[in-house]
Amino acid sequence: MKLLLLFSFVAVGAVVYPRYAEHSDDVCGAFAKRLEALMRTAQLPSPAGSYNDLANAFMRAQYPQVPAALRCTAGYWMTVVNPDVTGLAQRVLALMLPGSPPR
C-alpha cells in the first residue's frame, strides 16, 4: 500500500511539476516553453508555427495512442534528462517541413 501511495505521488508530481517550473497553464505549454528555450540556446532555427504546435506534432508522431497530457509530460522529462536538443530539433523540424515523410 505504501509503495502504491509513493508511486501515485511520483506520478502526480511528474505531471504537475512542469506546469509550475515553466509558469504555464498546462503541461503541453510547459513542454513548448522548454523546447523553445532549448532551441534558442542551441541557436537552432525557429519553426514556422508556434512551439506549442511543434511540440504537439512531434509527440503525436512519437506516441500516437497516448493522451496529450501524458505525451507532453514524457516530452518534457525527455528534455530534462537529455537537454541536448540538436538531434531532437532535427527530427522535429523534419516533421514540420512540407512533404516530409511521416515517422
pTM: 0.75
Residue 48 within any structural domain of the chain: yes
CB distance 44 to 85 below 8 Å: yes
Q: Is residue 76 part of a domain?
A: yes
Query: 69 and 25 in contact (C-beta within 8 Å)?
Result: no
In a domain, 27, yes or no: yes
The count of domains in the chain is 1
| Residues 56-97: tens digit of each pLDDT | 887 888 888 999 888 889 888 988 888 776 776 666 666 655
Note down the domain range covering 42. Answer: 2-96
Q: Which of 6, 26, 7, 3 lies closest to 76 in space, CA to CA?
A: 26
Q: What is the DSSP letter of 46?
A: P
Each residue of 16-27: pLDDT tens digit?
899 898 898 888
Greater confidence (15 vs 45) lies with: 15
pLDDT of residue 6: 92
